[in-house]
Structure 1
Amino acid sequence: MDELVLRPIGPGDVDALQELIESDPGYTERITGYPPGPSDAQSLLLMRPEDLPEESKVVLGAFVADRLVAVVDLLRGFPNDQTAFIGLLEVHSKHQGLGYGRTTYSLVEQYVGTTWPEVRTLRLAVVDTNADVATGFWRRQGFEPTGEERPYRYDKLESVARLYEKPLPEQSGS
């Protein structure tokens, strides 16, 4: 596997991000009930909880050379100051099953640990309509269910989002 570099998605990456989202229509359909739309990349870059400041959201791309192979949506300080929320980790369909998801996640853990020292816990939600695909992956990364669940609704799609958490390893030298 080629070396992955994690960096924030910039305006010049929007087309590559849109192409990544469109490469895996099954994911979008399981989460929204619809195939990917033409502005999904732009929406991903902008969407965040209303009470969260803009600078608390970062969308990171995992690149091999100049190819975007995975994307991660991160919220700093959500739902509290010690927690970062992973809204999405999606791997381009051409690169699935090659270990890029696992490597991207590992880089995310390093990013959070070095960039946001106050964060002690990573949190995410798995929507039941995507659980067959996502749960095993997140459990293998060390996430455990919290037992919390909430109704999940996207237009006509109704499901349940189950919350998972993982404590971050203690940072040495801080």
Structure 2
Amino acid sequence: MSLSFYQDQLLINSLEQQELPRAVEIYNRNPNYNVLTNGEPTLTLAELSREYEDANQYPTGHWLAIRYEDKIIGISHILLENPNDQKPWIGLLLIDSSYQGKGYGKKAYLMLEEYFRSLDKKTVHIGVITSNQRALDFWGKLGFEQYRQVTASVGKLTQPVLCMAKFL
């Protein structure tokens, strides 16, 4: 199933395999995120390709491109139903650093939230690395609340992660 949402010049739709080089650029324009998840400031195309393929094994999983003026400015990965808890999860929402602070991340999230609501989902969940204060602030401003801390594998590293949810 292919997803597509459009609102106020922002289009969210499927991230295709041939678009992975642009996705790698977005990761690598966020070196602090890469260090948090992989211990290194850059990610290779081979590493992202493996992650892309692994995530595509989930029937309700979707890699998404966030597009503005026909340019991919961000990427996301969602699970409409996580097989571990049957709840919707946003696994990734990452905006190119040159587009951050302009409201695109918030708008993309709100578009995803609207989609989850249309599916009659009651909550949406995320996991945030405890040391990622910028992400904790972002999600907190959007109404997410912490409900548990776990130790989880994120990228190449295992570390403390805060599970957060928002009631829809």
Same fold per superposition (TM over 0.5): yes
Aligned to 1:125: 127
| Distance apart, 1:157 and its partner CA | 4.4
State the partner residue of 1:95. Answer: 99
Q: Given that residues 34 and 42 in structure 2 are in contact (C-alpha distance below 8 angstroms), is that contact kept between their aligned partners in structure 1?
A: yes
1:137 is the counterpart of 2:138: yes
For residues 23 and 153 of structure 1, what CA distance do their matches in structure 2 show?
22
Do residues 106 (structure 1) and 113 (structure 2) align? Answer: no
1:74 alignment partner, SS class: strand
Q: Verify: 1:46 aligned to 2:47, yes or no.
A: no
Distance, in Å, in 2 between the alignment partners of 1:36 and 1:109 is 30
* TM-score of the superposed pair, with normalisation by structure 2: 0.84
| 1:167 corresponds to 2:167 | yes
1:84-143: CA deviations, max 9, x gaps? 1111111101101111110110111123233xx25321001111232x111110011110
Structure 1 residue 75: deviation in Å? Answer: 1.1
RMSD, aligned CA: 2.2
Per-residue displacement from partner, 1:131-158 (whole Å, max 9, x unpaired)?
Answer: x111110011110111x11113458845
Aligned length: 159
Query: Aligned partners of 1:61, 1:155: CA distance in 2, in Å?
Result: 20
Distance 1:167 1:94 in 2: 31
Q: TM-score, normalised by structure 1?
A: 0.81
Is the Cα contact below 8 Å between 1:143 and 1:164 reproduced in 2? yes
Please report how far the alpha carbon of residue 56 of structure 1 lies from its aligned counterpart in structure 2 after TM superposition: 1.4
> Which of 25, 31, 36 is the matching residue for 1:25?
31
Identical amino acids, percent of aligned pairs: 23
Identify the range of structure 1 (56-65 vs 10-19) with the bigger mean alpha-carbon deviation: 10-19
Contact 1:149 1:161 in 2 (8 A): yes
Partner amino acid, structure 1, of 2:17: P
User: In the TM superposition, what is the alpha-carbon distance from 1:165 to its structure 2 partner?
Assistant: 0.3
Structure 1, unaligned stretches of length 5 or more?
Answer: 169-174
